[in-house]
Amino acid sequence: MTKNSSVVVTGIGIFSSIGCNRQEFWNALMAGKSGIGPLQSFDPEGHKSQIAGEILSYDPREYFDRKEARKMALVSQLAVSAAIEAVKDAGMDLDKEDRSRIGCIIGSAAGDFHHIEEQYARFLQRGPRSVNPLTVPRVIANMPAGNTANALGIHGPNMGVSAACTTGTHAIGTALGLLRSGSADVILAGGTESTVTPFVMDGYASMGVLSAANDHPEKASRPFDLNRDGFVMGEGACVLVLETRAHAEKRGANVLAHVSGFGMTADAFGLAAPEPTGKWAALAIKNALNGSGVSLSEVGYINAHGTSTVMNDKTETTAIKNAFEGYDIPPVSSIKSMIGHTLGAAGAIEAAACVLALKNGCLPPTINYETEDPECDLDVIPNVARERDITAAISNSFGFGGQNGVLLFTKA
C-alpha cells in the first residue's frame, strides 16, 4: 500500500453510557464497567424491556446555544458533538485547513424517533396544522452528517449512511474508499443513535430480541454466555477523524492507528435472522484483509458484533471459525456487554475500541460471562481486560437485512 493510499485515525470523539470522551470511555472498558440501568427516558411500566444503556451526562448546552439545539434532534446533537470532540482530539485547526477537502460520513440506523413519536401523537390529537415545521429536517437520516458539516463549515464529501447495525462500520468503510480515491484529505466518519423510545423498544421487544432481565440491568447483556436472552438497547455516538497518511504527516498529527481494510457482503437470506452457516459474514472478514498485506495469523483481536442474542452469537462464532480455518482464532470480546446495542453507532464505537486496544496494548473484556455455551466456544476475554500487545485487530458488524461489514485496523 502506498503512502498516498494509506489512511490513519488521528482523533476520536465518543459519547456512550460509560463515558463521554475517549479516556473516560477507555477507562470504563478496562474496568469492565456496565452502563446499563433502569430506563430514565420514559416511564417503563408495562413494557417488556425496562432497561437501557442511556447517556445520562450529556449536556447539549456545552456545544450549542438554545436556538441551535432546538433545530437538531438528539441523534444529530450527539453526532455534531462527537465530531467537535474528534477534531479537538486530533489537534486539528480547521481554520488552517482547506475545508473543501474535509468530508463527513456519519450514519444512523433509525434517525429521530423521539420527534416522530411526539409529532405523530400531536398530529392525531390536534390535526394536520399542528405539525412542527422542523419535523422533516429533524427526522431524515442524513441530518447528522448535514448538521455536522453545517456546524464545522466543511465542504467535502458529505452523506448519511443507513445499514441497520452495520451503519457505523459502513460509514467508516465508505470514508476509507473516498480517502484512498483522492476525493478528500480528511473525513469525519462514524455513527450515531438515540432510539430509546417506547415505540422503538416495543418494536424490538415484539421480535423477541430484547433482554427481559429487568431486575438485574447491569448483568442483562451477556454476549456468548449460555444464559443470554437478548440484547439491551443503548444510545451513543462516535466519530473518528480519518486522514490520508500524507496529510497527517504534513500537519504533524499523532497517529492512533491505520485503517487497513474494509470488507462487506450480503447474506441475501432473510429480514432479520443471519444466514446460519455464517459463510457470507466469514467472506466479509476475509475481504477486509484482501490487499491489506495483513494475514489472518497477524490478527490479534476481534471486536465481535456480539449482540447477546441466541442466534447472532452462535452464527458469529461459526463465521469466525470459517474465516480463520487453518489459523489460530485470536481473543474475541463484545463491548455490548457494557454499553448495550447502540445500533447505528455500534460499528463506530467498536471501531474506536479496536483503535484504542492497538494503541494501549490491552483488550476489552466481555463482562457478565458466567456459563460457557458449547456453540460459542471462543476465547471471549471473560470479565477482565487482558494486557496484550497486538499489531492488527478487526471489528465485526452484522445488521438486519443481512448486511455485513468488517474493518481492519493496524498498529501505528
The three cell numbers of residue 178 are 473516498
The three cell numbers of residue 78 are 450527539
CA-nearest of 109, 189, 192 to 157 is 189
Asked about 305 being catalytic, the answer comes back as: yes
Q: Is the dihedral of CA 264, 269, 273, 279 positive or negative?
A: negative
Please give the full DSSP string across 180-213, using - where no structure is assigned: HHTS-SEEEEEEEE---SHHHHHHHHHTT-B---
CB-based contacts of 209, cutoff 8 Å, min separation 6: 230, 231, 272, 307, 309
User: Roughly what angle, to the nearest 10 degrees, separates helices 310-323 and 279-289?
Assistant: 50
- Buried residues in 169-208 as b, exposed as e (16+ CB within 10 A): bbbbbbbbebbbeeebbbbbbbbbbbbbbbebbeebbeee
Catalytic residue of the set 114, 341, 354, 362? 341
CB 248 within 8 A of CB 8: yes
CA-nearest of 412, 363, 368 to 391 is 412
Helix (H) or strand (E) holding 289: helix 279-289
Asked about 165 being catalytic, the answer comes back as: yes
Catalytic residue of the set 104, 165, 354, 376? 165
> Cβ-count burial of 128 within 10 angstroms (0-12 exposed, 13-18 middle, 19+ buried)?
exposed
CA-nearest of 295, 296, 294, 312 to 304 is 312
Helix spans in 1-156 (H) = 22-31, 66-71, 74-89, 113-126, 135-139, 143-152
Strand 257-266, strand 236-244: pairing = unpaired
**Distance (Å, rounded) from C-alpha 82 to C-alpha 79?**
5
Asked about 354 being catalytic, the answer comes back as: no
DSSP classification of residue 262: E
Catalytic residue of the set 115, 170, 305, 354? 305
- Buried residues in 14-52 as b, exposed as e (16+ CB within 10 A): bbbbbbbbbeebbebbbebbbbbbebebeebeebbbbbb
Catalytic residues: 165, 305, 341
